[in-house]
Amino acid sequence: MGYIKIRFNDEFNRLGSNLEKTIEDIFEAASPMFSFSERCWHPQMDIYETPKEIIIKAEIAGVDKDQLEVEITSKAIKIYGTRSETTLERDATYHLAEIQYGRFERILYLPALINPEKVTTSYKNGFLVIRLAKLPVEQTHSIPIEDG
């Protein structure tokens, strides 16, 4: 039985990566030669929650489990890996080539705090499903105020 690698991190650098991506997109729109880093594709994902858990469903057909990694904190999840390129037909004329290959990465900020110790994953028919147990909501207590 194969396993999907899960790593636990303190935090992801949200501001730095978003700023770098925005600057790169501006320059690359002007000219592709201004690309700062390797281009990544972004798989389609659904994220939804029930009263007890957050569920993430990622569409990553063609990615081997060995090429897939998941990192989580109590606030965010990073899913990344590589989809190997298929062999192109040498004497064929392509009229459409939309399937993206190579490195991919998605960072999702979770709508509620989760328990990193209670995470399950499954990968079937090109879909990765991650189930994250939510931490119980802190209860507030009223404190009576006494006269001085």
pLDDT tens readout for residues 43-76: 999 999 999 999 999 999 999 999 999 999 888 9
pLDDT band at 137 (very low <50, low <70, confident <90, very high): confident
User: Can you tell me the distance from the alpha carbon of 147 to that of 110, in angstroms, rounded to the nearest whole number?
Assistant: 43
Question: Looking at per-residue confidence, does 71 or 38 come out higher?
Answer: 71
> Residue 71 corresponds to which tokens in the numbers above?
């990192």
Q: What is the pLDDT of residue 11?
A: 54
Is 63 inside any structural domain? yes
The answer, yes or no, to whether residue 94 has pLDDT greater than 50, is yes
Is 60 inside any structural domain? yes
Domain encompassing residue 113? 5-9+39-83+102-134
The answer, yes or no, to whether residue 16 has pLDDT greater than 80, is no
Percent of the chain with pLDDT over 70: 73
Q: What is the pLDDT of residue 52?
A: 94
Is 18 inside any structural domain? no
Is 127 inside any structural domain? yes
DSSP percent split of the chain into helix, strand, coil, nearest 5 = 15, 40, 45
The mean of the pLDDT values for the chain is: 81
Flag whether the pTM goes above 0.75: no
pLDDT band at 87 (very low <50, low <70, confident <90, very high): confident
Total number of domains constituting the chain: 1
Helix (H, G, I), strand (E, B) or coil at 20: helix
Is 147 inside any structural domain? no
User: Any idea what the CATH number is for the domain that residue 109 is in?
Assistant: 2.60.40.790
Is 106 inside any structural domain? yes
pLDDT band at 142 (very low <50, low <70, confident <90, very high): confident
Is 32 inside any structural domain? no
> Residue 60 corresponds to which tokens in the numbers above?
């990553």
Is 25 inside any structural domain? no
CB 77, CB 71: distance < 8 Å: yes
> What is the CA angle 102-107-112, rounded to 5?
155
